[in-house]
A and B are shown apart, each in its own frame.
Chain A
Amino acid sequence: MFPDSKIPEGPLAEKWDKHKFNVKLVNPANKRKYDIIVVGTGLAGASAAASLAELGYNVKAFTYHDSPRRAHSIAAQGGINAAKNYQNDGDSVYRLFYDTIKGGDYRAREANVYRLAQVSVNIIDQCVAQGVPFAREYGGLLANRSFGGAQVSRTFYARGQTGQQLLLGAYSALSRQVAYGKVKLYTRTEMLDVVIVDGQARGIITRNLITGEIEQHAAHAVVLATGGYGNVFYLSTNAKYSNATAAWRAHKKGAYFANPCFTQIHPTCIPVSGDYQSKLTLMSESLRNDGRVWVPASKETAERLRKGEIRVSDIREEDRDYFLERKYPAFGNLVPRDVASRNAKMMCDEGRGVGSSGLAVFLDFADTIKRNGADWVSQKYGNLFDMYAKITGENPYEQPMRIYPAVHYTMGGLWVDYNLQTTVPGLYATGECNFSDHGANRLGASALMQGLADGYFVIPYTIGDYLAQTPPKPVTTEHPAFKQAEAEVRARVQQLMSINGTRTPDDFHKALGHIMWEYCGMARTAEGLQHAKAEIQKLRREFWSDLKLAGTEAEMNQALEKAGRVADFLELGELMVDDAYNRNESCGGHFREEYQTPEGEALRDDENFTYVAAWEYTGDNRASVLHKEDLHFENVKLTQRSYK
C-alpha cells in the first residue's frame, strides 16, 4: 500500500485553504519547546529556518559552506515566476498552475502545483518587503519578462542575478533570527546521516569540515533543504560542492526516492572545451527572449565553419536554420527547456553543430543589437555577456554565442506528501531536494519560486501538524540510535581513509559522469541503461577497492569530503538508471528513444505511466522496490504537449 499523499479533498482552488484550517496548531507558548533541524541554507533552507524561528521554534541550521549565503541558489540567474498579472496580459493563478502542469508533461500532482501558483504572489510581496531590489519600470513599479513555456510575462528578476538577490533576502531574514538567538547556525558542518528513533526522525550526525569532529544533534523534526543531485553527471551547471549525500542518507534510512531519472538538461550552457573542465556554466534562459537560436542549414556549411574555412558572418541569412522558430512558430525560441535541448542535440546529431567539437548551436543577438543597440542589450544581459566573454575569450556582442545543453536541475528527489513530509515521520524535504512540483520537466524561473514557497509559506504550516502530535518534551542524543548512527558514520569515514588505492575521488566521479551522460542523459534506451547499470556496479566496486586519499580524517580534508559524496553518487546513479529503465515512455526531460512521435517529440504512455515512481531502499547491493503513486488529473486534460 502506498503511503498517503495527504492531498486534501475538495475543489482544487480550495484545497490549501481548507488544509491550513484542518491542520493542527502548536500554541505560541509551546512552540519554544520544539527544536527543528534545517539542513541546507539555500532558498528553501534559509527561508524555512527564518520563518520557523519567527514563529517561535528553536532552529538549528546547518550548511557545509563557510556562510549560508554561498548556497547554490545564489547562482540562479533569470528570475522567479509569480501569478501577479501586473502586466495585464491574462495571467492568473490558474494559468501558472496550468503552464506548470503542462510544462512538467503531466507528471506532477495537481494539488501541489496549484498551491505553488497560489503562494507565488506572496513570495514577491515578501521579498520586496525584505529589500530585494527587483528590476523596476520608470514609474517605479515592478518589471517582468517572459520565460520558456509561458505566453505571459510573469517573471520577476534582478538583472541576471535574481537567485543572488532572493538568497540574500532569505539570508538576511535568517541572520536576523541568528542575532535573536532563535537560530543556531552551524557553518562548515556537513550532515552525514539522519537519526531515526522509534521510526521517527530525531536528529542528524554531522562532520565539522574544519576539525573533522563527528557530532550528534537532536531535534523534534528534521527538514532537508539540501538541493538537487545534478552533479551525479560530474559536469553540470551545479556548484562543485552540490551533492546528494543528505538526501541519499535519508533514503537509506527509509525515505522513498521519487522519479530519480527526471533530470533537466538546460539548453543554453557554454559548451565543454576540454577534458580538464570542472563544471559547466549556464547562460540564462532569459537570453532566449532576445537571442535567436540557429545552426547552418546544411551539413557542408557547418563543416566548413568548424574547420575555420569560413566565418559566421559569411553565412547568408537564407543559409541559416532558426530551427526552433521553424518548428515551433507559436513559442519560437521560448519553447520549454527539454524541447529546446533535444532539438539542439538533434541538430548536432545531424552534423550541423558548430564550434570545434561540433557540439554547439548559435545563440545570436545580432538582430536585437541592430534593433535596440548594444547598450540596451548590455543593460539587460550585461553580466551574462561578460561571463561568456571571460570563459570563452570571445566577444558575444560581435559574434553569436555558442551554446549546448547541460545538466542543470533534478526534478526527482525525496518523495514527500502534501505536507512535504517524507515517508519517515518527522523528516521533511523542501526545495529541489524533494520531487514535488515540476513533474518531468521544470519551467524556467520556477525553481526559485518552489524553494521559497516551500520555505516561507508551506512548511511553517505543515510542520506544526506533526509537532502538535509530538509531546513537547526535550529531545536529547541519549537514545542508542544516536550512538549507532555515529558509529556507522565513523566507520564509513575510516573505511574511505583506509582503502589506500591509486585513483582519486575526481577520477571516479568523472568516470561515473561519462556513464550517466552517455546512457542516462538527453536520450536513453533500454539497452544502454542496462549497460550503464553494469558499468556503475563495476565502477562502485573499483571505488571501494582503489580509492586514494591523503591526510587524515581529523582535519580539513577536501578530498575526503569529495570521496564521501562520490560514494553516494555511485549508488544514486544506479537508481536513476533503474528508474529510467522502468519508465517505458518519454516525458519531459526523460526521453527514451524507443518512445517518440514521428516528429521526434516525446511520446507519453498515460495509460501505464501516469504515476510517481517512488523507490524504497532495501539494502546494499539489493534491488530497490518500486512503489507507484497514481496521479489523478481532475482539472487538466492530458494531451500531447504542443508548442507549435
Chain B
Amino acid sequence: MAGSNPNAKPMNLTLKVWRQKNRNAQGSIVDYQVKDISPDMSFLEMLDVLNEDLLRQGEEPVAFDHDCREGICGSCNLFINGRAHGPEPGTTTCQLHMRKFNDGDTITIEPWRANAFPVNKDLSVDRSAFDRIIQAGGYISVNTGGTPDANEIPIPKEIADRAFEAATCIACGACVASCKNASAMLFVSAKVSQLALLPQGHVERKSRVENMVAQMDKEGFGACTNIGSCAAECPVGISLENIAILNREFLAAKATSNNLA
C-alpha cells in the first residue's frame, strides 16, 4: 500500500551538482553517485542521502535551501534537468518525489540563475531582492488596532477568491529562474493584483504599483517579454493574468501620477 508502485525498486543515480564555495568563487559541476534511492523519497530526501554520505567521508555537504518540505514556505529552489523545481508541473522541489525518475538516470542540479539572485553557496541563492520589492509597497498601510469590524467590508466572493489566488505566491523565484530575461514580473504582479482587487488596497493603488515596479527595476531583474514561462513553471499556479493586471495598474498609475519621478 505504501507508495504508488509496490514493484518500484531502489534506484542508482548519477547527480551533476553545481558546487560553488561562496558568492565570489568560481563554481563548477561535480558528479556524484547515489545508490539505493527509494522511489517514495522526496527529491530533497535523496539529497539528504548524498549529504550524509559526503559528510561521513569528511567532505562538505551540498548547501541548499529548504525548510517546511510541504511546498508552502518557498525556500526550496533547485533547477533540475533544466527546469525550475524539476519535471513535475505545479510542484515545488520538496514535493517532487523520486518515483518521477528512473534507475540509471543522470540528474543535473543547479541553483536559480539570475543577476538579482547571487549564489550564497552551492545551490543556495540570495533572494532578498524580493523582500525589498515588498518593502517598496507590497502592503496596505494600516497600523495595529483601530481597524473596522471585519464584516464591515463585504467583498464579492469572486473577487476575494481571485485575490486569494494571487496571494498564494510563495516567493520561491521559479518565475525568475525560468524567464530568459530573469524578469520578476509574475512575482510583483501577484502582490499588485491581490491588493488592487481588494477594496482595502485601493487607497494606495497608484503609489504601490509605481514603487514596486521601480524597486524591481533597481534590483536588476530583466524586462517582461510576455513569453509566459514564468506562469508555466510556477509551482503554485500564479496566473499570467496577473501580469496583465499589473500592466494595466501601472499604466493607469503613470497616466494620472502625482509621482512622476
Contact = CB atoms under 8 A, between A and B. Distances in A.
B65 interface: yes
Given A66-B65, A136-B160, A128 B150 contact: yes
Nearest to A64: B67
Contact of B70 (A134, A357, A387, A507): A387
Contacts of B16: none
B72 interface: yes
A298 interface: no
A214 to B, nearest CB: 18
Given A138-B157, A178-B135, A133 B74 contact: no
Interface in B138-157: 138-145, 147-151, 153-157
Contacts of A185: 131
Nearest to A68: B131
Contacts of A164: 72, 168, 170
A131 B160 contact: no
B5 interface: yes
Interface stretch (B175-183, B194-202, B241-249): B194-202
B61 interface: yes
A308 B135 CA distance: 55
By CB atoms of chain A within 10 A, which of B56, B59, B151 has the most?
Answer: B151
Nearest to A176: B139
B134 interface: yes
Given A67-B131, A456-B144, A506-B48, A172 B138 contact: yes
B238 to A, nearest CB: 13
Contacts of B163: 131, 133
Nearest to B37: A276
B61 A276 contact: no
By CB atoms of chain A within 10 A, which of B44, B73, B150 has the most?
Answer: B150
Contacts, number: 243
A420 to B, nearest CB: 16
A137 B74 contact: no
By CB atoms of chain A within 10 A, which of B5, B49, B73, B171 has the most?
Answer: B73
A556 B21 CA distance: 9
Contact of A277 (B45, B75, B90): B45
By CB atoms of chain B within 10 A, which of A69, A178, A241, A271 has the most?
Answer: A69
B4 A65 contact: no
Interface string A273-297: 1101111011000000000000000
B113 interface: no
Nearest to A52: B144
A172 B200 contact: no
By CB atoms of chain B within 10 A, which of A161, A175, A277, A394 has the most?
Answer: A175
Interface string B10-22: 0000000000011
A127 B153 CA distance: 12
B151 A457 contact: no
A513 B70 CA distance: 20
B83 interface: no
A306 interface: yes
Contacts of B44: 278
Contact of B67 (A72, A138, A159): A72
By CB atoms of chain B within 10 A, which of A72, A158, A393 has the most?
Answer: A393
B38 A276 contact: yes
Interface stretch (A189-197, A319-327, A343-351, A547-555): A547-555
Interface string A128-166: 111101111111111000000000000000110101110
A74 B61 contact: no
Interface in A371-394: 386-387, 390-394
Interface stretch (A22-30, A118-126, A606-614): A118-126
By CB atoms of chain A within 10 A, which of B4, B130, B156, B168 has the most?
Answer: B168
Interface residues of A, number: 94
A131 B201 contact: yes
Contacts of B1: 306, 308, 354-356, 402
Interface stretch (B91-99, B102-110, B225-233, B250-258): B91-99
A129 B75 contact: no
Given A65-B75, A504-B56, A548-B56, A274 B38 contact: yes
Contacts of B31: none
B136 to A, nearest CB: 7
Given A131-B200, A356-B2, A75 B154 contact: no
B140 A172 contact: yes
A84 interface: yes
A129 B140 contact: yes
Contacts of B170: 164
Nearest to B99: A393
Contact of B69 (A50, A279, A354): A279
B200 A556 contact: no
A141 B155 CA distance: 7
A392 B4 contact: yes
A408 B134 CA distance: 31
Nearest to A278: B45
A357 B2 contact: yes
Interface string B34-47: 00001011101100
Nearest to A171: B134
B142 A130 contact: yes
Contact of B145 (A86, A126, A556): A126
A555 B154 contact: no
Contacts of B217: none
A179 B138 CA distance: 11
A460 interface: yes
A134 B157 CA distance: 10
Given A133-B164, A273-B2, A559 B61 contact: yes
B4 A128 contact: no
B260 interface: no
Nearest to B127: A66
Given A159-B164, A550-B58, A129 B3 contact: no
Contacts of A175: 131, 134-135, 138-139
A485 interface: no
A548 B22 CA distance: 22
A34 B38 CA distance: 54
Given A128-B153, A390-B91, A70 B5 contact: no
Nearest to A86: B151
Interface string A64-94: 0111111110110000000010100000000
A70 B148 CA distance: 29
B151 to A, nearest CB: 5
B200 A141 contact: no
A216 to B, nearest CB: 23
Contacts of B6: 308
Given A74-B72, A133-B164, A558-B61, A273 B139 contact: no
Given A66-B128, A70-B75, A129 B148 contact: yes
B167 A274 contact: no
Interface of B: 1-6, 21-22, 38, 40-42, 44-45, 48-49, 51-52, 54-56, 58-61, 63, 65-75, 88, 90-91, 95-97, 99, 120-121, 124, 126-128, 130-131, 134-136, 138-145, 147-151, 153-157, 160-161, 163-164, 167-168, 170-171, 194-195, 198, 200-201
Given A125-B148, A158-B164, A550-B61, 9 more contacts: A51-B144, A72-B67, A136-B160, A136-B161, A140-B154, A456-B144, A548-B58, A556-B63, A559-B61
- What 10 pairs across the A-B complex have the smallest Cβ distances? A393-B4, A140-B154, A172-B139, A129-B147, A133-B164, A128-B150, A51-B144, A239-B67, A179-B135, A239-B68
Interface of A: 47, 50-51, 54, 65-72, 74-75, 84, 86, 122, 124-131, 133-142, 158-159, 161, 163-165, 168, 171-173, 175-176, 178-179, 185, 187, 210, 239-241, 271, 273-274, 276-279, 281-282, 306, 308, 354-357, 386-387, 390-394, 402, 456-457, 460, 502, 504, 506-507, 548-551, 555-559
11 contacts: A66-B65, A128-B200, A138-B157, A141-B151, A178-B135, A271-B2, A278-B42, A278-B45, A357-B2, A390-B91, A559-B55
